[in-house]
Amino acid sequence: MANTPNVTIIGAGPAGLMAADVLSTQAISVDIYDAMPSFGRKFLMAGKSGLNISHSEDQAAFLTRYTPHTPLADYVSKFGAPDIMDWMSGLGIEAFVGSSGRIFPKQMKASPLLRALLNRLQERGVRFHTRYRWTGWSSNTALTFQTPDGRVEKKSSAMLLALGGASWKRLGSDGAWTELLSGKGVALAPFRPSNCGFSVNWTAYMSDRFAGAPVKSVRLRVKNQPQLQTRSEFVITKTGVESGGIYRLSAALVAALSEARPATLVIDLLPDLSEDAVLTRLQRPRGKASLSKHLNRTLNLSGVKLALLYELTDSTQRADAWRLAQQIKALKLPLVAPAPMDDAISTSGGVRWEALDEQLMLRDLPAVFCAGEMIDWDAPTGGYLITACLATGVAAAEGITDWLSMER
């Protein structure tokens, strides 16, 4: 066993654990380190609402969900939804495809899958180390960790960094690793919140009356970017908007705000009706009915949708049927700022692709590989995030295996 290479994996989320699963089938000794008291904390949090682990849509459409002009699609195309379902089956976890095309474990929980994976890794001899915070390298290039028992050093044949992005700090993703890598000259992109909500300057009435209300059956798009649209619901919060379609468009909205450009969400309140059809209904005789009753009777606009219309238009616009029809079909909601980074479901930014070779090894740090959300890529919710983490974990493990075979 003296000549058995050892691989150190730092970060026990989906990417790190998947890499360990691949490496543990080889003649390689594997140790996994994590700063938290237990493994897979963000993974378990993602599974609280069902663990949407991937998506069954056509692969060509699937690959468009990721940041364009990056190598990520290559890794996902080699380990995508069918591969994930087979992997789950090998762990005794049955998968099913929901009506939306999303893929879930049959139990609708993350804990059985995580438990099965950890059991398999232990059976294969993988060693787990909790409460080990990676602090860099010593003068003799050993890895250094801060532990409850003090500073620890460890030599390794190769290492995988799977440290996550910069959201949900309480679950372990704090982005603190950026200082360690930037100090070594690794090119990094600044973190941005992704799959996040946005703040809005609501009136007190809107904020107090409709916080928590879902806005259903609408089409959303980004102003001046007609290609960026989605038919989906979203939720009003006390300070803004979040969920569903907001997350799907968040990358473009965050980019606009970060460049000091206005970010405007355009809402089609009645996507199943054309503007002409809306106008025709608005022009029906109103009699003595109030405008609110007329809108309810002719267009079924009520509740939160009606409140949004009144919130974002003035009396002049509402007094003219033609202008009102335009507003109903393209209601403009100015966004003030993204939600705080730590509240985002995920983040973009991190290790730039040009800092990595095709096998996800850092060009300036031989034998140091990266995987998961700490690499600069973005994707919407819907199974795409976890899929990419798992796929890059597989790719990095294969890269490590190839590196070690060349070094022997």
Q: Are 290 and 318 in contact (CB under 8 A)?
A: no
The domain ranges of the chain are 6-192+347-407, 198-338
Scan for tokens 């089956």, then name that residue.
89
Strand partners, 214: 235
Torsion of CA 246, 250, 253, 256, to 10 degrees: 170
**Residue 68, φ and ψ in degrees, nearest 5:** -70, 165
Tell me the DSSP string of 47-58: GGGT---EE-S-
d(CA 234, CA 256): 20
pLDDT along the chain (408 residues), means of 10: 84 97 96 96 82 93 88 94 97 94 92 96 97 93 94 96 91 91 95 93 96 96 88 94 91 87 93 97 93 96 97 95 97 94 91 97 96 94 94 98 88
d(CA 216, CA 225): 22
Q: What is the pLDDT of residue 1?
A: 43
CATH topology of domain 6-192+347-407: FAD/NAD(P)-binding domain (3.50.50)
d(CA 23, CA 9): 10
Q: Are 21 and 145 in contact (CB under 8 A)?
A: no
Q: Are 157 and 404 in contact (CB under 8 A)?
A: yes
Strands (E), 254-367: 263-268, 331-335, 337-338, 346-351
Strands (E), 243-391: 263-268, 331-335, 337-338, 346-351, 368-370
End-to-end CA distance of the chain: 14
Strand partners, 144: 136, 153
